[in-house]
Structure 1
Amino acid sequence: EKRGVSDIITTVLLILIVLAAIGIVWAIISNFLGSSTEQIDLGAGFSQLEIVDNSIKYLPSDAIQLKVKRDSNPGNITGLRVIVESENGNTQSYDIDVPIKELETKIIDVPLQGKIQNVSKVSIAPRTPIKNKIKTGQTADEKNIESHIIGDEGLVGYWSLDNDVK
């Protein structure tokens, strides 16, 4: 009377060990591929936004306004992250939910809410839905503001012409 593990039980145990090993390897690989494809999705087509030259201006309501232009690259851009930097280096980011279609130019109002004074640089980054989450891509464009931004009030000139005309 031999007591031991039968050949059938040994074969079943080996098959279970192999299946467990395959499951562990698959879990590791799929996790890696999932995060890699998410990064690829974030980078795909995101060099398609730009701030239109000379379009940044202050609004009387403590906000800045800028024009954003998108080219013809496909993709689902549901909003923007606008990063505003002051002359002394303080930065503040604002998430603006405004979809921008292909070949569209939009005027964007960014409420500063008193958080930033003397704006020196404005940057934009696209926001897009990936796997039921809104992700922010790389910075697509930035504009340095060399001097103070002109307000929306317009410029008014006054010349006194009294007694100057003959």
Structure 2
Amino acid sequence: MDTDNKHPGIKSVGWALVQASRLHRSRTGDKLSELGLFAGQEQVLQALGNSGPMTMGELAAILRVRPPTASKTVSRLSALKLVERHTEPGDARVVRVKLTKEGKRKAAAIDALWEEVEGELLQGFDNKDRKRLRKLLRRAAKNLAGITGADQTGFETDDEVDGLEASEPELAATA
């Protein structure tokens, strides 16, 4: 009998991904609690900080959640005075969400926190390792998005993100 207590999926990429994801989420959650936030709320503040005011539908699409889920998070952030909701002039059915001044401060603090946790996550990785891992994870996510019918936006290559075209050898290496 094996007494090493190894998980049966220990050689699985998916298992390793789940473990890394859980630990990352836990560490991020600890840091967010120092800002008075819960996991998930930071994503709304980051989305609004990066894109500016948007409709609830646009926000839900960026976050890959259903509109009621986005609405519930926005309500909580509104109670904390981090976001404001305004109806669209001429169409009261359309609600736009934007950051308040305090929300902008929190979004900046979240960006710093995110960089800190990412530095901890990738300690000992050189830039080449970081870029390769990012590319592989995006490709894996895009594979599953295609199979599940999920929105595939947000899985751009580093070259698309950086506004560069990949060289043919690099494309061949990642294909």
TM-score above 0.5, yes or no: no
Tell me which protein shows more strand as a share of its residues.
1
Calculate the TM-score normalised by the size of structure 1: 0.21
Identify the structure with the greater helix proportion: 2
Structure number with greater CO (CA < 8 Å, separation at least 6) is: 1
Instruction: Give the alignment's TM-score, normalised by structure 2.
Output: 0.20
Structure showing greater Rg: 1
